[in-house]
């Protein structure tokens, strides 16, 4: 299947700082990418839809000024958690439609674990 | 009420047994149904993908969709300890580029 890569896989930062997470589609182009957040023992919750060349679409309750999304190219989307606080500590996962044999098939990155001290 | 309901488990079975997982949903507009496997601290991995109602088999995995009952199932035959993971059902209204709605996940433990 298609490969989606995330970096960093884990990051620890101090409260008040900003953290950037990258999501790359390695062997295909993705005009759309999805960013999810997963708290321990909970399911994935969609945060926003990243659109190449235009503004991201945020889900209800997700602060767009706190979670900045940039989709500058067909293979890269970034999520920046601004002024991070301990409650932002979570597992952030991106995904992209891979254009595989199944229409609508989504491929996920390995996730990025953020810990805010 | 959540849009997609899934028993969180944990579901513990002996090696070789059949694992039976299911989800119910409320949105009749869902057309695409998926099952993902997620190991601890890893991203989800797609196992099965089904469009509309019916059955689909792939190796030890069988997925069933009953749209009339808004009920989907995943069966794992001859379960192995390596199948121990959290299994997430997911579904979407449209096809390519559409966002998924996930169930809460069922944690499965296959004991040797």
Tens of pLDDT along B24-81?
Answer: 999 999 998 999 999 988 889 989 988 888 899 999 999 999 999 999 999 999 999 9
Mean pLDDT computed over A64-90: 95
- How far are the Cα atoms of A56, A107, B74, B78 from residue A35, in angstroms, in the given order? 10, 12, 26, 34
Q: How is residue B27 written in tokens?
A: 């949105």
CB contact under 8 A, A104 and B32: yes
Query: Sign of dihedral through CA atoms A11, A74, A109, B100?
Result: positive
Check whether B95 has a pLDDT greater than 70.
no
Mean pLDDT computed over A86-103: 82
B30/A17 Cα distance (integer angstroms)? 40
Mean pLDDT computed over B99-108: 90
Q: Which of B46, B97, B99 sits opposite A46 (nearest CB)?
A: B99
Mean pLDDT computed over B77-93: 95
CB contact under 8 A, A106 and B32: no
Q: Does B105 touch chain A (CB under 8 A)?
A: yes
Q: Which of B32, B51, B102 sits opposite A44 (nearest CB)?
A: B102
- The pLDDT value recorded for residue A40 is 83
B55/B72 Cα distance (integer angstroms)? 10
Length of chain A: 117
List A residues 37-56 in contact with B (Cβ-Cβ < 8 A): 41-46, 49
Confidence band, pLDDT 50/70/90 cuts, at residue A97: confident
Mean of the per-residue pLDDT values for chain A?
90
Q: What is the CA angle A9-A11-A85, rounded to 5?
A: 130
A75/B93 Cα distance (integer angstroms)? 25
Check whether B109 has a pLDDT greater than 90.
yes
Confidence band, pLDDT 50/70/90 cuts, at residue A69: very high
Mean pLDDT computed over B105-110: 96
Q: Which of B43, B49, B103 sits opposite A108 (nearest CB)?
A: B43
Burial state string for A10-27 with b = 16 or more CB within 10 A and e = fewer than 16: ebebeeeeebebbbbbee
CB contact under 8 A, A108 and B32: no
CB contact under 8 A, A44 and B32: no
């Amino acid at each position: 299947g298609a490969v989606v890569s995330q970096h960093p896989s884990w990051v620890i930062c101090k409260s008040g700082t900003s953290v950037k997470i990258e999501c790359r589609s390695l062997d295909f182009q993705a005009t759309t990418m999805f960013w999810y957040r997963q708290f321990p023992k909970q399911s994935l919750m969609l945060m926003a839809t990243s659109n190449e060349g235009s503004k991201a679409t945020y889900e209800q309750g997700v602060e767009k000024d706190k979670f900045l999304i940039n989709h500058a190219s067909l293979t890269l989307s970034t999520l920046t958690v601004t002024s991070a606080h301990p409650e932002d500590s979570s597992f952030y996962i991106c995904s992209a439609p891979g254009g595989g044999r199944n229409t609508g098939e989504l491929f996920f990155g390995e996730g990025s674990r953020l810990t805010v001290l | 009420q959540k849009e997609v309901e899934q028993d969180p488990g944990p579901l513990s079975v002996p090696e070789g047994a059949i694992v039976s997982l299911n989800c119910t949903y409320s949105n009749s507009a869902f057309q695409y149904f998926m099952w993902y496997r997620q190991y601890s601290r890893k991203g989800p991995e797609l196992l099965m993908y089904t469009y509309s109602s019916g059955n689909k088999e792939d190796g030890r995995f069988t997925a069933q969709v009953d749209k009339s009952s808004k009920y989907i199932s995943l069966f794992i035959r001859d379960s192995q300890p390596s199948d121990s993971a959290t299994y997430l059902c997911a579904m979407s209204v449209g096809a390519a580029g559409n966002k998924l709605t996930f169930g809460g996940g069922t944690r499965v433990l296959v004991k040797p």
